[in-house]
Structures are given as structure tokens and as C-alpha cells.
Structure 1
Amino acid sequence: MQSMSIPNGPTALRRIIGAELKRLRLAARKAQHEVAELSGIAQNSLSRYESGVSAMSNPVAEKLLTIYGVDEEQQAELLDLVKRSRKRRPKGEAKTAVWEPVEDLIALERDASKILEVAIQPMPGLLQTEAYARAMLGQGKLGADVVEDNVQARLARAAVLGGDNPVGYWVVIHEAVLRCAVGGAETMAEQLAHIAELSKRPNITLQVLPDSAGAHSASAGSFMLLRFPIAPEYGVVYIDYFTGALYLDEPEEVAQYDDAYLHLIKMALSEQASLRFIKKLSQELYS
């Protein structure tokens, strides 16, 4: 299995652009060598653009999109993404204290049209209250300032769930997440009330996977699957671990996580039953 290496946000955008360029070329029934002849762009450069290894200029992107017959509206969207993919942190600007893999995830979440998540432990970052986030992030050896930066960054991520064009978010939360008393009873009561309220939003689907479901396809741990409107056939699986994170985007790998997710939503409680379960558990454990 091959993992997706994303050293920074712009590289993540290049992978999305590359996947869409490849899809458009194949839809136009053209081989790379044909496009190279038509565009005057070296074939090895085209390969690097499609794999997301190299950034391209807007004139090069515009030339390719014209060859592929892309309409003006989609061209404008892709060219904006191309421009953003070349951005770098200004010289002298301080690097954020936020954990580096999360910087990449934030960039992906902003561009996603759909986020599917499975949480085995802890509560998904997009759903955490301030008190819960602070209790989680305060467990390590980070200084108070760094913890605070990370807490505020985690809370800011939730902006994608609201606004005029919120992301579609479908999350399966294991019962163990609800039972683990992070921050104590008061913090957990607030946290469970928060997710119960969020679950009422039309763009959010929340299901609980109870302990009684038994063995399941996410026994290896939590994961997030992101899809993007600009590249509908491209998906990224995000998995974090103690010292870093993995980004998987090989189609065969993504398909396996798609299958695992479909299996889990069938095993999980319905939305209505999940809401009743959350309220009942909160009363039993945290009232």
C-alpha cells in the first residue's frame, strides 16, 4: 500500500488538481503523448502534474483545460485552485503552533464537499466543544500557549459545518467515545448535548455504533474520508496516529475504506435511535 505524502497544504491541492487533470484527459480520450504534442509541454512534466508532484502555472493549466474542452466556469474553479496550490508561507512569517498534519487536514476540509468519518476514540475534532478539546490537548507535554493555539484551531475547523455552503458530514461514533469521560462529567454532558444538537442540522448525519454491534470493519481505528466537488473521482483517507498522520489516495485503498464505511452505517443505530441513545447515556453517566 502506498501512502499519500503531504508536506504542506499546497501539495494537497496539487494532488486534487492532478487527479482531475487525469480524469479530464481520459474523458477526452487522449494519451499523455498526444497532449504533449498538442500543448508543447513535455510528457514527463504532464506526468508530474497529474501525480501532484509539481506545481504548474495558470497559463499551462489553461492550455491543458482548453485541450480537454473544459467550460469556462469549471476552468475558473480549477485555475483558482492552481493559483492557491502555488502559495507558500511568506518569508519571515512565523509557523503556526498547530500540529503539522492537522494543517494539511484543515486545507482539505475547506475544499471538501463531503466528509465521512468513523470515530472509535476520541470524539471527532469537528464536533468537539472547547472544554472537551482543552481536556484532550492538555494531556501531553505541550505548553499552555501551544495548547491554546491547538484548541482554537480545532474549534475553527467546525466552521465548515455551517455557513451558506456547509460540507456534508456523515459520522459514525462508537459507543466507547461517549463513555470515555474526557474532562469529567460536566464536560461530557456538555459535549453530548452539543453533538445531539448538531445532529439536527440537515447537512449532518450522526449515527452511534453500539458495543452490542460486536466486531466491525473499523476495528483498526478511526478514519476520515474526504471528497471534493472540483475532482469528483478523487478521495483522500486521513488517519492520524500518535506521532503523525497518513493520507491515502490510491483508488484501490480509498475503495476499501468506502466499503468499510458502508458496512458500518448499516451496523450503526439509525439517526433517531442514535439521538435517543446519546441522551439516555448522558443521563445515566453524566447527570
Structure 2
Amino acid sequence: MPRGSSPTLRKRRLVGELRRLREAADLTIEDVAARLECSASKISRIETGRVGVTPRDVRDMLAAYGADRGTLDELVQLARDARRRAWWDEFGDVAPGRYVGFEADAERVRTYQGLTVPGLLQSEAYTRALIRAVLPHAGPTEVDRRVELRQARQALLVEDDPLRLHAVVDEAALRRLVGGPEVMADQLRRLDEAGRRPNITLQVVSFEAGAHAAMDGPFVILSFPEQTDPAVVYLESPRGDVYLEQPPDVARYSDMFARLGAESLDPDASSALIGRVARELA
């Protein structure tokens, strides 16, 4: 699937246009709900992407906004495209499809991880050990499916037009023995090998750096090929995933990542540290 063409990103474009057209028509969510004889919460959930949008919904809303025929045809087709199934839908029981869809559409991903190796760079044994520790009640089938999904996501890094990944990892993630010394040593070798790929930039923020720009916690910045698709910041938490899409928020995290990169070891020095920790485990 060409980057930028998945249902996830098309739905994002659609709801963004619906919101923009409503505001251009100088209508509130309550105004639209009254005209369409539905609840205001339905319109709100559509505009925030929390529910699906049918072609009928789009026709009704655009009629209320006085949109022209060309806009109507374009957005109705976008609504149809947004309802198509993607490969990650089959994993909907173990992972939120929205993030996986954004990742599949992204041209570039910048991520900071403080306690774990980034998912796109994890070995199978490391992933299994991590899932068992974080989700102790997960059965074997669920663990297998989560591992399978993570491996499917990693294919983005080895495609003909691969995802560009810039990962900054805290030294703590290198030294935490997830799965024991043997699993961790193998993970570190895999991590070092990944950092040598032309589409991957890997940096380690060492303990010697002291306090750094991302002490508040991990985050991911996803950037897309088309300028019409603004970047998204993803924050994962036990209480639910958070997506920041407003330009000031994206700019703040982009600046944080730039400062973090400047405070971290360069790729060669990072590789040397990863190798040193791996040898200590051996």
C-alpha cells in the first residue's frame, strides 16, 4: 500500500475537512446537530475521529454546509476509502489500529524511549519477555499475536522505500535486563545492526548526560509525505493513548527532540556504547 493512502490517514483528512467546512460555514456543532436531527455528540465524535463516517453522513453534513458538487464527490469518495480494511485491522483485539495506521503512512518517525528498546527495533525474544512483564495476565495466544503484530510493523524498515527512523534511547533501556542476559545481549546486537542501516539513525543518551530534554517520558513524532497531512505526536500511557496534532504541540516536541539529539551521543559513539554493554553481558 503506497504511503499516505491507508484508511487511517484518509479518515484523518476527511474529518479535518469536515471540521474546516463547518467552521467556514460559521456553524457550531450544535447548529449542525439541530439541522441533521442528531445529537451534538455524534458530530463531535465524527470531527475528532472517534467514530466512523459513512458516505451518507458526509452528504448530509456537506448539504448543511452548502458545499459545492466537486467537494461533495471528493469527500464522499474519501469516506468510502476510509472505510476500507487494512492489514492491521485483524490485530484490532491487541492493539489500537490508529497508531499502526499512522506509522504505516509515515515517511519519517522520530522517537525517544527511556526504559525500553523502541518496538520497531525489538527482537522477538525481547518483545515476548517485555509483554509478559507488562501484561502478566496475557495468555499465550495474545502474546503470540502481539509479537506477530510488532514483527509486521518492523517490515516498514526494510521495504523498497523504507520508513526513515530516528530513535534516541536512554542508556537505562540498554542496561535493563529484559528477558535475562542472553536475551538482552542478542537484543543489543540486533539494535547495533539496525543502527547501521541507511534509513535508521540511532543515538543513545548516556547516563553521563545527566538530566535531559525528554525526562518527562517517551514520545513519537510521525511525519507524512504530503504537506496536507500535518505531523502527529503520539504519547502512550496506561490510561490511554494521546495524539497531539496542533502545530504548537508538534513544534514543542520537535524542538525537544532536536535538543535531545544534541545532548545524546552521536551514532558512532552510541554504537560503541551499545557494543560495550553487550560485551559486559557476555
Q: Compute the TM-score of the two structures, normalised by the length of structure 2.
A: 0.75
8 Å CA contact retained: 1:112, 1:167: yes
What 5-or-longer segments of structure 2 have no aligned partner? 1-5, 27-34, 36-43
Change over 3 Å in CA distance of 1:179–1:50 after alignment to 2: same
Instruction: Report the more deviating stretch, 231-240 or 176-185.
Output: 231-240
8 Å CA contact retained: 2:55, 2:76: no
8 Å CA contact retained: 2:9, 2:105: no
What 5-or-longer segments of structure 1 have no aligned partner? 1-8, 26-30, 35-41, 68-74
1:211 aligns with one of 207, 210, 214: 207
2:128 aligns with one of 134, 141, 156: 134
Alignment of 1:174-213 (within 5 A): 174-213=170-209
8 Å CA contact retained: 2:94, 2:146: yes
Alignment of 1:40-51 (within 5 A): none
| 3-state SS of 2:144 partner | helix
Per the alignment, residue 4 of structure 1 pairs with: none
8 Å CA contact retained: 2:108, 2:222: yes
Q: Compute the TM-score of the two structures, normalised by the length of structure 1.
A: 0.74
Deviation per CA, 1:11-38, whole angstroms, max 9, x where unpaired? 6642245558999x9xxxxx9349xxxx
1:150 aligns with one of 122, 146, 170: 146
Question: How many residue pairs end up in the alignment?
Answer: 252
Change over 3 Å in CA distance of 1:112–1:130 after alignment to 2: same
8 Å CA contact retained: 2:94, 2:145: no
Query: Partner letter of residue 137 of structure 1?
Result: I
Change over 3 Å in CA distance of 1:48–1:178 after alignment to 2: closer
Q: Which has the higher contact order (CA 8 A, sep 6+)?
A: 1
Deviation per CA, 1:131-161, whole angstroms, max 9, x where unpaired? 0000011122111111111111111110111
Alignment of 1:262-273 (within 5 A): 262-273=258-269
Per the alignment, residue 274 of structure 1 pairs with: 270
Measure how far apart 1:231 and its partner are: 3.8
- Give the Cα–Cα distance (whole angstroms) in 1 for the partners of residues 162 and 78 of structure 2: 19
Measure how far apart 1:281 and its partner are: 1.3
Measure how far apart 1:264 and its partner are: 0.3
Percent of aligned pairs with the same residue? 35
Change over 3 Å in CA distance of 1:212–1:50 after alignment to 2: same
C-alpha RMSD of matched pairs (Å):
3.7
8 Å CA contact retained: 1:19, 1:234: no
